[in-house]
Amino acid sequence: MKDKKRSSGILLPVRSLPSPYGIGDIGPAAYRFADFLSSSKQSFWQILPLNHPHHGGCYSPYSSISAFAGNTLLISPELMVKDGFIKQADLQKKPRFLKGTIDFKVVVKYKEQLLNIAYNTFKKREKKREGYKSFCLHHAFWLDDFALFMALKEKFNDKCWNLWPVEIRDRKKSVLKQLKLELKEEIEKEKLLQFVFLKQWAQLKNYCNKKGIGIIGDIPIYVDYDSSDVWSNSKIFKLDKNTKKMTALSGVPPDYFSATGQLWGNPVYKWNILKKTNYSWWFKRMHHNFDLFDRVRIDHFRGFVAYWEVPAGKRTALNGKWIKVPAKDFFSKLLKRFPKNSIIAEDLGFITQDVRDVMDYFGLPGMKVLQFAFGDDLATNPYVPHNHVENSVVYTGTHDNNTVKGWFKNDAGKETKKKLFKYLGYKVGIKDISIEFVKMSLMSVAKLSIVPIQDILSLGEESRINKPATIKNNWKWRLKGDETTRSVTKLLAELTKKYGRA
């Protein structure tokens, strides 16, 4: 994708697309959304991570069982019918799914039935295995460990890997070799599902690219402790040598989202070991993501300069400390392989001068969120439009924010609204606030403007995707199916052309 001088796009997680199967997927609705983006003169579709989430948790896309494997819940049933993995009749026996939300328990049960049918069909059709075999060879560096990990999770009733028998926990080669024979079918099924997922995704990305739409992906800085990555690469994480338990946890100090900070609980990296390996694991991860996406947003960018480390056992993130990272060495080598205009640095929260220095040194664009613009001094607040810089990405809000309408109604106090009206030069009601923020975003000097679909549609707090530092009712929202009307398409196209982003 060529880097246009001024462009814009929409933020919408794949899971939040409308679908008759309980969760958004890579099927027909995704193609229709690409058509909407093209018709409304957009250049980008930003999504959240596609990684395989933990089942049984809150299904956060930032809490994954693998940094490489795709979320098989996003596999399209319709496209599996088209490819002959399942029959149309298999789709008829589905539960009544709720519109506008995801009931993960019901979705998982239903999708697993379909995926089992797909695997049983695959086993009977040897002639279809050619593409599959080459896929397995190409992705072996992560796929082999992931598939074995998933098979072992099933064998040990989903227990965390550090509770497995010691010889399996510590990856004794002879034992793993025997397990691969014992669990051959379970392993092959996991590989097949990843094959189907990545095939469907590649087709969708190709469709978007042909329409001039680039995909912006999202890379979480950390991986989950109970993941195939930590089990198979334990030496690059801060773990106890004997028990393999975490000795330090990830998080952030107190900020806009939480007065006690956020204790994420992921294992932190041994950057000295990563450096000795020439950052091999990270570069493989980045290469994999650039196969999936045209650009990537690196979540929690400041953690690549210095990260907040909390001793294991603490209940909050208050008693942590900053640990420096060899940022310049890492990014110097990284950007020799990947173009810097393909990376967006998530630089929200507590950002120190050393982080800004690294971003400036490498010319990496940061984020400007308009919901943060009207709290402090309007003259100097970096999120106010007149303080934006060209090399940045402006957002009305992110997946962690309320919708603009929800923010205006429930979060913005009298003083904030007063400053907002003063800045606009007129008062705005709740009916028009979302579109005013969309206009501010599009007219910004920032090279790229990204607007969550909820703000294009003027949706309220009920359409919020995530509320940081909480675990209930997150990641469930999705479109009902009839929201991107002709009038919405026309308005967005007109605004995009008006502000020179078409």
Residues tagged active-site: 299, 346, 400
Spell 143-157 as b/e; 16+ CB within 10 A means b.
bbbbbbbbbbbeeee
Mapped onto helix, strand or coil, the DSSP state of residue 349 is coil
- DSSP per-residue letters across 126-189: GGGHHHHHHHHHHTHHHHHHHHHHHHHHHHTTT--GGGS-HHHHTT-HHHHHHHHHHTHHHHHH
User: How much is the CA Rg of the chain, to the nearest whole Å?
Assistant: 23
Mapped onto helix, strand or coil, the DSSP state of residue 381 is coil
Nearest to 105 by CA among 65, 72, 57: 57
CB proximity list for 40: less than 8 A, separation 6 or greater: 488, 489, 492, 493, 496
Residue found under tokens 């909050």: 316
Mapped onto helix, strand or coil, the DSSP state of residue 51 is strand
What are the φ/ψ torsions at residue 467 (nearest 5 degrees)? -120, 105
DSSP-derived pairing of the beta strands 248-252 and 306-311: antiparallel
Residue 323 CB neighbour total at 10 angstroms = 15
